[in-house]
Amino acid sequence: MAALVAGVVPVSTAGSASAAEPRPRPLPLERHFDNRAVSDDSAPGSADFDGSGASLSAQDLAAAGWTPGRALTVDASRIAMPDTRPGRPDNVRADGQSVRVSGRGDALSFLVAGTGGDAVGTGTVHYSDGSRGTFRLAAPDWRTGPLATKSVALPHVNTPDGRLDEKARLYVVTVPIAEGRRVASVRLPEDPGAADLHVFDVSVRTPDRGLTGSWSTSTSGYTEVGPWTDRTLRLVVHTSTGGPAVRIRLDNTFAGTPVRIGGATVAVQGDGAEARSAPVRLRFGGERGTEIPAGAQAFSDPVGFDVPADANLLVSFHLPDTVTAAPVHSATSQTSYLSEPGDHAAEGAGSAYTSTIGTWPFLTGVDVGGGPGSLVMLGDSITDGVGSTQDANLRWPDVLARRILTQDDIPHYGVLNQGISANRVVQDRYPGDGVSTDTGGVSALHRFDRDVAAQTTARTVVVFEGVNDIRWGDTAAQVIHGLREIAERAEARGLRSVAATIAPCEGEERCTAAVDAERRAINDWIRSSGAYDAVLDFDAVLRDPAHPARILPAYDSGDHLHPGDGGLKAIADSVDLRELVG
């Protein structure tokens, strides 16, 4: 089951108040620690994570920025490494322990790994009103689990006989809970099967109140850059909705080492790299800069700033150290800027920005104050904007966002573009670890938690994917299985789900008659299955009525796969806005 591979399975949050069942008194998680996962390289036999004497390297964890007691943010979850010395108990093997956990939120967040294979078990969340719900927790194996969903990968495994050059993994896994109820305690899974399910930390993920996602992008790969030393990036992004405050999100996704941010600002774009007015300084936990551990993220503190809707912003941040590789979004259809040496983030003038770049490194989100929440567009290159005019902001989610702003039938939601060029539903293009030239991203299934469920105040997900799967040999049945799972996971997260039919592509090299047959089978399922809350028939909008296997020539960008500006506008204009909110 793909959900188990991804580390997330459906959860039951139902549960009514009932007579209290006898259960052990909840204790802090560290009081349950009964296993030693981390050893010092000088004493590799001091820990035994998996029962065979193997363990994680304390030095490798430190090099990744995952030091004892350090709090990290991963997929909007706040977790911490246990504050223990190497060779001391630092995790618990789940076996029905009752753990003291408190707070209100939308999910429980676990820092976990399995040993002896992928570990899966059913636990219970107890609420302060006496109700309870069950959840299933999946912890991929620390040596064989998918790199695409890991939170951090370490380059070595310690053993009493020496160091093994193979990847060790840790995972942050979330399971949805009843939002609005206060969590009182969590009972860990009692019987995870033949494998051991190790828990290092557990917390309640608290949604961001009073903020709406206005712009976002997905990390599509981890590529060589520069190298950049003492440089400032000035990235151009386009808002959907506006608001009276702003914060940004920086992600060190897929990285193996931390990155230091010396300072950051935001401004409305003037001409090119020039700001319309003085950039506003951003802070991180009150500090001017921050260090982002490998695989983690950093949110700036919200600051008063009048963010206009449907406008270009300049988000600038200084990289004081040498950066040779970075997590990037590759297909931006947008020109951004790189400075000469120095911290130029606070400068309004654009003269220091002497080079241009066509990617968005590190930056993954811009949130604004207020607003009703956001709509997430999960897609591939057509959603990403391939085929649209450079620097014109004519991607179909941009056009949809403008429609939303000019009407009053539904609230003015933010529109978040989580399209990745070359992305697939069920297969990874980028493997999820290490430097790679492929920027097609991990699969929609593997990125769902990060790119949909963890997005700021997400309300609805629109899924428009599948053509790349069938173009590269996957069957309709495989794609349908993946699309069904996405719908199920959206429902478990309390999200409305909307599916778009796959557009025709005859004339493109890989779009054979056999591929078109698979496409039509998927579309028939989307239209008739009822798996999604609503359907957008983009196939019907884009196809040539006289030749339904191809895009209408007036809508074709020229490659027969990607619609041009007219086709992108046509699908955005075809959306019944009420279907997005129910």
Question: For position 7, what pLDDT does the model report?
Answer: 40
Question: What amino acid occupies position 463?
Answer: V
Is it true that the peptide bond before 140 is cis, omega within 30 degrees of 0? no
DSSP string computed for 200-229? EEEEEEPP-TTEEEEEE----EEEEEEEEE
pLDDT exceeds 90 at position 73: yes
How far apart (Å, rounded) are the C-alpha atoms in residues 551 and 571? 12
Beta carbons within 10 angstroms of residue 333's beta carbon: 20
Distance (Å, whole) CA 313 – CA 235 = 8
Query: Is 529 a residue whose pLDDT tops 90?
Result: yes
Integer Cα distance of 167 and 153 in angstroms = 6
DSSP H helical segments within 472-574, as ranges? 476-492, 513-528, 538-542, 565-574
Q: Could you tell me how far CA 529 lies from the centroid of its own chain?
A: 27
Which 3 state secondary structure label does DSSP give 483?
helix
Q: What is the mean pLDDT of the chain?
A: 95
Q: Is the pLDDT of residue 4 over 60?
A: no
* Bridge-based pairing state of the strands 56-57 and 38-39: parallel
Q: Chain-centre distance of CA 156, in angstroms?
A: 26
Q: Which residues are 454's β-sheet partners? A: none
> How big is the CA angle at 65 (ends 64 and 69), to the nearest 5 degrees?
135
Structure tokens, 39: 């050893």
> So what's the pLDDT on residue 2?
40
Task: Indicate if the pLDDT at residue 129 is higher than 60.
Answer: yes
d(CA 442, CA 378): 13
C-alpha–C-alpha distance, residues 412 and 415, integer Å: 9
pLDDT at 221: 98
Three-class SS of 109-168? EEEEEEECCCEEEEEEEEECCCCEEEEEEEECECCCCCCCCCCEEECCEEECCEEECCCE
Check: CB of residue 269 under 8 Å from CB of residue 374.
no
pLDDT of residue 455: 98
Cα 509 from Cα 466, distance rounded (Å) = 17
Distance CA 119, CA 115 (A): 7
pLDDT digit string, tens, across residues 444-500: 999 999 999 999 999 999 999 999 999 999 999 999 999 999 999 999 999 999 999
Q: What is the pLDDT of residues 140-198, one digit of tens each?
A: 999 999 999 999 999 999 999 999 999 999 999 999 999 989 999 999 999 777 799 99
Closest CA to 171 of 193, 195, 141, 194: 141
Taken in order 553, 559, 565, 569, the sign of the CA dihedral is: positive
Q: Residue 11 above 70 pLDDT?
A: no
Which DSSP string do the residues of 559-581 spell out, in sequence order? SSSSB-HHHHHHHHHH--HHHHH
Q: Which residues contact 67 (CB under 8 A, 6 or more apart)?
A: 61, 81
Asked if 400 contacts 569 with a C-beta cutoff of 8 angstroms, the reply is: no
Q: Looking at the chain, how many residues does it have?
A: 582
Interaxial angle between packed helices 476-492 and 513-528, expressed in degrees from 0 to 180 and rounded to the nearest 10? 30
Q: What angle, 0 to 180 degrees and rounded to 10, lies between the N-to-C axes of helices 565-574 and 396-405?
A: 40
**Is residue 14 over pLDDT 70?**
no
Element (H, E) at 548: strand 547-551
Residues 6+ positions from 532 with CB-CB distance below 8 Å? 463, 487, 497, 498, 499, 526
CA angle 218, 416, 482 (to 5 degrees): 65
Could you tell me which residues come within 8 angstroms of residue 146 by beta carbon, excluding any fewer than 6 positions away? 5, 6, 7, 140, 432, 446
| Cβ partners under 8 Å of residue 528, min gap 6 | none
Break the chain down into helix, strand, coil percent, rounded to 5.
20, 40, 45
Residues 209-263 pLDDT 10s: 899 999 999 999 999 999 999 999 999 999 999 999 999 999 999 999 999 999 9
Determine the Cα–Cα distance for residues 4 and 122; give it in Å rounded to an integer. 13
Q: What tens digit of pLDDT does each residue of 273-318 get? A: 999 999 999 999 999 999 999 999 999 999 999 999 999 999 999 9
Q: What is the pLDDT of residue 194?
A: 74
Banded pLDDT at 21 (limits 50, 70, 90) = low
pLDDT, position 10: 42
* The pLDDT of residue 16: 40
pLDDT of 8 higher than 60 = no
Q: List pLDDT tens digits, range 339-380.
A: 999 999 999 999 999 999 999 999 999 999 999 999 999 999
Beta bridge partners of 213: 367
Q: Would you call 445 exposed, middle or buried from its count of C-beta atoms within 10 A (0-12, 13-18, 19+)?
A: buried
pLDDT the model gives residue 209: 86
Alpha-carbon distance of 209 to 205, in angstroms, equals: 12
For residue 112, give Cα distances in angstroms to 66, 90, 148, 193, 577: 14, 12, 15, 16, 40
Structural domains of the chain, ranges and CATH numbers in brackets: 2-205 (no CATH), 227-325+335-360 (no CATH), 372-582 (3.40.50.1110)
Q: How far apart are CA 284 and CA 213, in angstroms?
A: 18
Structure tokens at 294: 């490998």
